[in-house]
Every structure is written in structure tokens, then in C-alpha cells.
Structure 1
Amino acid sequence: MSKKDFENMSPKEIEDYFGVTQEQIEEWDDMLVRGEIPGVSVGEVVVGRPLKFGEHLRLMGFKETEQKIERMDKRADSLGMKRSDYLRWLVDKDLASVDVA
């Protein structure tokens, strides 16, 4: 069916077509907003990157030019890494080279 077909249907016809009522959709939305997913046990939602080795992480960052960021992204991609992983790898490599890691 195309979008035009649905535009010409009544709400009841659309519910019948999909086999779901507006009330069911609203009930599912309420459940999802509360963090309940039918058939899936969900624990507490924790935002952010998981702990590494049980240690808490702190955010750090710096500003850089667009051109340098593009070069970093290209290099990270060539190594099969994301930018953040690439930067972590560089820092780890440098600290290990001076026996600070």
C-alpha cells in the first residue's frame, strides 16, 4: 500500500489493516516510557559507557580544527576504529612508551 492509500482510509480501516487499535498503541507507548518491554526483562537503565574494569570514568575532551578532526577520523577508520577508540589507543601507546601506563 502507498501513503496515498492510507490517506483515504478511516482510522478504523487503518486499525483493521494493521490489526492494532489506537488504544493498544497508546498502552504500549506508556509501557515503553515506563521502561517495560513485553517479554524482555529490563534492569535499571544506566546512561553512558559501561565501566571499564570496575572503575568509574570521567569525561575529557579538547577542541581541534575541522581539518585535523577529518584526518583523525580517516586514520581511525583505516585502523577499523572509532575516533574515541583511536584517541584512547594513542594515549595508551604514548603512556606505555614512557612507562607511565
Structure 2
Amino acid sequence: MEKIKIHDTEYEIISIMPAATNVLRIEFADAVPEKWGDITTYTVGGMEAGYISGYDTLYRADGQMIYLSNDGSVYEPPEEQGLIDEPMLIEEAEG
């Protein structure tokens, strides 16, 4: 399983990939970090594979799926459509 390291702590992950232009998606296998910062990625064999910096804002959390942004943006769910305030009349067709 792949691993990443954030703040000197290793975490097992299922996947890490871009979700949008400024958003990175990480699916954790177990523990999820509480603090974010620079990320070191490792291969399944344990070799260092890369270094990702700048993704330190929690954009959205959905269980083990975490989205981080590199521009300070955070997820805002769409506004719910309210109920219709006035009833609609249905006219019967004349025939």
C-alpha cells in the first residue's frame, strides 16, 4: 500500500490525485491527519516518490476521503432549493 508523510508521521493511503485545478484528493486507508502541510509520497515498495507542497487548507472532508486546496479555498455546499411559497393552480383543459 502507498504511504505519505505529513509532519513526520506516515499514513497509509489508497490513492492521491488531483480533483480540480487547485484541489488534491487523498483517500486514507486508516488514520486521517488533523494538521496539514507538506506531503512526501512513497511507492508501494517504500521508496520516496515525490514531494507536494502548498496543499495545506482542508477543502472538504468526507470520511476517509480528504480534499486539500493550495489556494485557501474551502468547499461550500450548494444552497438547498426552498419549497414553493405559493401554490400553483392546474387548469383543466376544456374539451
Asked if TM exceeds 0.5, the reply is: no
Structure (1 or 2) with the greater helix fraction = 1
Task: Give the TM-score normalised by structure 1.
Answer: 0.22
Structure (1 or 2) with the greater strand fraction = 2
- Answer 1 or 2: higher relative contact order, Cα 8 Å, separation at least 6: 2
